[in-house]
């Protein structure tokens, strides 16, 4: 079975990913990962996360995939030794220097080569395999034909590929704009995503004139990538012998993690039964996303990967909160967003067949008082006509 690898930006998202069907998660400590603005995991949380994943017979991979400067090297030995001691299942690395240090200070942990290393040929795969890498996370910029060739030429190494999530206008994160505009180094985990900003063109001899590349009152989004979505290609990917499919999004919500993990888990499980996965294709539209593209899957051509019109997210559903406890037909919910009496909301669960929707008729606050609407960051009670599973999330349609 092809592995479903889900993002875990914090402990809550990690648990959500596992509960909604992930075979493995990828996370980071507070340093050395490429999502420094995510909350990530403390060393105490990393230890607990490993125990949680292993108790559920799941795996956890830790990103150590920055491009290190000399100053980064001082703290790496103790951190790598710590990861070795708690027995994480793999380290995700892109920097050759960190690769060497990992072999020295975390000798028991397999190494996965990050997509940040831009592996785009079977010769590059052979190189890393000879160095001792167990898995290659292929560059997003590969076509499916190229992936097939790599699988044929390198049959004994594990291959992983991204199937969903944000894409970079540069080669898998090699962005210089962030450092130029904000002094935030994308290659050290601090990308400010300037590729999503609106730009105008100024010609040197005409500094007072601003030109739109496209005549549009919004300006032109020159670098703005669409979101990758390979849901409809999962059967091909599975039969090609890809060992792991990866969902991007450590900085996204637990709801995003849940919906996409469940969708791709079912896409892999029922790859030969398209009638069973049609409902999950619709679920892809129920998370916050930019316009979707299949990227370079069919050919190396960027004409369909960029959105030149706007950079805003498409949001059709709102994440309202999560179920904390169920007692008989009374449901305790951690609320993250407002909903009111008379609104229709949905409960979603790891088993999609148990999802339900209903109109809110009564709400009680934590003290048992009836209220007309909820407030974010509070707990409330709802009563449902049937007993619900103990773990689930709450959402509502907004458009």
Q: Say if residue 250 is in the same domain as residue 379.
A: no
Last residue of a domain, one of 304, 328, 358: 304
Residue 210 lies in a domain: no
- pLDDT tens per residue across span 98-145: 999 999 999 999 999 999 999 999 999 999 999 999 999 999 989 999
Residues 6+ away with beta carbon under 8 Å from 107? 84
Residue 193 lies in a domain: no
Residue 183 lies in a domain: no
Q: Say if residue 101 is in the same domain as residue 11.
A: yes
Q: Say if residue 351 is in the same domain as residue 283.
A: no
Report d(CA 227, CA 178) in Å as an integer.
Answer: 19
Q: Say if residue 272 is in the same domain as residue 390.
A: no
Q: Say if residue 251 is in the same domain as residue 324.
A: no
CATH number at residue 364: 2.40.30.10
- Residue 360 is inside which H or E element, if any? none
Q: Say if residue 373 is in the same domain as residue 234.
A: no
Q: Say if residue 64 is in the same domain as residue 7.
A: yes
Predicted pLDDT of residue 168: 73
Q: Say if residue 100 is in the same domain as residue 234.
A: yes
- pLDDT tens per residue across span 326-375: 988 899 999 999 999 999 999 999 999 999 999 999 999 999 999 999 99
CB atoms near residue 383 (< 10 Å): 13
Predicted pLDDT of residue 179: 61
Residue 209 lies in a domain: no
Provide the number of structural domains found in the chain.
2
Task: From 363, 360, 366, 356, select the one nearest 387 (Cα to Cα).
Answer: 356
Last residue of a domain, one of 261, 281, 304: 304
Phi-psi label, residue 105: left if phi above 0, alpha if psi -120 to 50, beta otherwise: alpha
Q: Say if residue 332 is in the same domain as residue 247.
A: no
In the DSSP assignment, the letter for residue 232 is G
Last residue of a domain, one of 282, 304, 326: 304
CATH number at residue 231: 3.20.20.70
Task: From 353, 345, 371, select the one nearest 255 (Cα to Cα).
Answer: 345
Residue 185 lies in a domain: no
Predicted pLDDT of residue 275: 92
SS3 call for 234: helix
Q: Say if residue 297 is in the same domain as residue 149.
A: yes
Predicted pLDDT of residue 225: 78
CA 17 distance to own-chain centroid: 10
Q: Say if residue 266 is in the same domain as residue 366.
A: no
Give me the residues of the chain with pLDDT under 50, please: 215, 217-219
Predicted pLDDT of residue 213: 52
Predicted pLDDT of residue 46: 96
Domain of 382 in residue numbering reads as 317-397
Residue 195 lies in a domain: no
Asked if residues 306 and 226 have their Cβ atoms less than 8 Å apart, the reply is yes
Predicted pLDDT of residue 325: 93
Q: Say if residue 13 is in the same domain as residue 132.
A: yes
Report d(CA 163, CA 388) in Å as an integer.
Answer: 32
Residue 190 lies in a domain: no
Residue 189 lies in a domain: no
Predicted pLDDT of residue 299: 84
């Amino acid at each position: 079975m092809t592995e479903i690898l889900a993002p875990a930006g914090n402990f809550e998202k990690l648990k959500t990913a596992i509960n909604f069907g992930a075979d493995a998660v990828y996370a980071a400590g507070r340093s050395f990962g490429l999502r420094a603005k995510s909350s990530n995991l403390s060393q105490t949380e990393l230890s607990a996360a490993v125990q949680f994943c292993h108790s559920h017979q799941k795996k956890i991979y830790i990103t150590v995939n920055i491009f290190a400067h000399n100053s980064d090297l001082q703290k790496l030995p103790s951190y790598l030794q710590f990861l070795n001691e708690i027995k994480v299942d793999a380290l995700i690395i892109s920097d050759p220097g960190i690769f060497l240090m990992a072999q020295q200070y975390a000798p028991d942990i397999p190494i996965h080569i990050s997509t940040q290393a831009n592996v785009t040929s079977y010769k590059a795969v052979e190189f890393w395999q000879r160095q001792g890498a167990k898995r290659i996370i292929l560059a997003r910029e590969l076509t499916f034909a190229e992936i097939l060739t790599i699988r044929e030429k390198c049959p004994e190494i594990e291959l992983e590929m991204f199937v969903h999530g944000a894409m970079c206008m540069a080669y898998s994160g090699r962005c210089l704009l962030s450092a130029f505009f904000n002094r935030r180094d994308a290659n050290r985990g601090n990308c400010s995503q300037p590729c999503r900003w609106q730009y105008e063109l100024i010609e040197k001899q005409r500094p007072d004139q601003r030109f739109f590349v496209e005549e549009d009152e919004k300006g032109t989004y020159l670098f703005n990538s669409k979101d990758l979505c390979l849901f409809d290609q999962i059967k091909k990917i599975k039969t090609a012998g890809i060992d792991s499919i990866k969902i991007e999004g450590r900085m996204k919500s637990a709801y995003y993690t849940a919906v996409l993990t469940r969708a791709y888990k079912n896409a892999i499980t029922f790859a030969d039964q398209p009638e069973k996965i049609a409902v999950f294709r619709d679920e892809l539209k129920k998370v916050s996303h930019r316009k979707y593209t299949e990227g370079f899957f069919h050919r190396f051509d960027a004409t369909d990967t960029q959105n030149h019109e706007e950079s805003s997210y498409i949001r059709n559903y709102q994440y309202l909160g999560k179920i904390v406890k169920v007692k008989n037909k009374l449901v305790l919910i951690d609320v993250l967003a407002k909903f009111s009496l008379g609104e229709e909301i949905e409960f979603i669960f790891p088993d999609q067949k148990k999802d339900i929707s209903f109109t809110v008729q009564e709400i009680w606050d934590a003290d048992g008082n009836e209220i007309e609407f909820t407030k974010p960051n509070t707990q409330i009670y709802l009563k449902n006509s049937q007993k619900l599973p103990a773990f689930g999330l709450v959402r509502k349609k907004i458009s």
